[in-house]
C-alpha cells in the first residue's frame, strides 16, 4: 500500500475549494455550503465518476467549510476565519474518509501524516488561493455591487 492513500489528501484542497471561496467572497450565511454543493452538482452532471454520491460528499464538504464561518458568527472575514474554515473542512472531511474510505485501517502514524497533508492542501487551495482570488476580484471592482470584499 505504501503512501498511495496520500494521493487523495494531496488533491483534497482542489475538491473543497468552492466552499471557502464562495463563503469568503459572498459573505452571507450559507454561501460556503451552497458554493460547495453546487460544485458537486456540476461535477455530477458533467459525468463525475462517483455519480449521485457526489452530492453526499458535496453536502459534507459544504457544511464543513460553512462551519468555519459560522464559528466566527459571520462577522470576521480575514485570515482567521479562512483558516478556521480550512481547519473545520480538514477535520470533518477526514472524519468522513475514516468512515467512507476505510481510513480506520491505517496506522496512527499514517493517519497523522495524511491529516497534515490534507490540511496543507486545503489551506493552500481554500485559504491562500481563495485570498488571492478575492484580492484580485476586489481590485478589479467586480464585487462592487455586492459590497466588495475589503481584502
* Structural domain contains residue 74: yes
Q: Quick one: cell of 95?
A: 472524519
* Structural domain contains residue 80: yes
* Structural domain contains residue 151: no
Domains contained in the chain, number: 1
Predicted TM-score of the model (pTM): 0.90
pLDDT of residue 149: 59
pLDDT of residue 147: 61
Q: What is the pLDDT along the chain (151 residues), one digit of tens a residue?
A: 567 788 989 999 999 999 999 999 999 999 999 999 999 999 998 887 778 889 999 999 999 999 999 999 999 999 999 999 999 999 999 999 888 888 889 999 999 999 999 999 999 999 999 999 999 998 888 877 666 556 6
Q: Which domain holds residue 60?
A: 16-146
DSSP label at residue 144: G
* Structural domain contains residue 35: yes
Q: Quick one: cell of 23?
A: 463563503
Specify burial of residue 51 (Cβ count, 10 A radius: 0-12, 13-18, 19+): exposed
Render 12-65 in DSSP notation, one character per residue: HHHHTTHHHHHHHHH-STTHHHHHHHHHHHHHHHTT-TTTTHHHHHHHHHHHHH
* Structural domain contains residue 5: no
Amino acid at each position: 500500500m505504501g503512501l498511495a492513500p496520500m494521493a487523495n489528501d494531496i488533491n483534497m484542497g482542489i475538491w473543497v475549494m468552492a466552499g471557502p471561496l464562495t463563503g469568503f467572497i459572498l459573505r452571507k450565511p450559507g454561501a460556503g455550503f451552497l458554493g460547495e454543493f453546487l460544485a458537486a452538482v456540476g461535477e455530477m452532471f458533467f459525468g463525475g465518476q462517483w455519480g449521485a454520491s457526489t452530492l453526499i460528499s458535496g453536502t459534507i464538504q459544504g457544511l464543513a467549510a460553512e462551519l468555519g464561518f459560522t464559528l466566527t458568527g459571520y462577522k470576521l472575514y480575514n485570515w482567521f476565519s479562512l483558516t478556521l474554515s480550512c481547519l473545520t473542512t480538514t477535520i470533518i472531511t477526514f472524519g468522513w474518509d475514516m468512515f467512507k474510505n476505510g481510513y480506520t485501517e491505517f496506522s496512527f502514524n499514517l493517519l497523522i501524516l495524511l491529516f497534515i497533508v490534507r490540511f496543507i492542501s486545503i489551506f493552500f487551495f481554500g485559504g491562500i488561493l481563495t485570498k488571492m482570488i478575492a484580492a484580485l476580484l476586489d481590485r478589479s471592482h467586480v464585487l462592487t455591487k455586492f459590497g466588495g470584499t475589503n481584502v
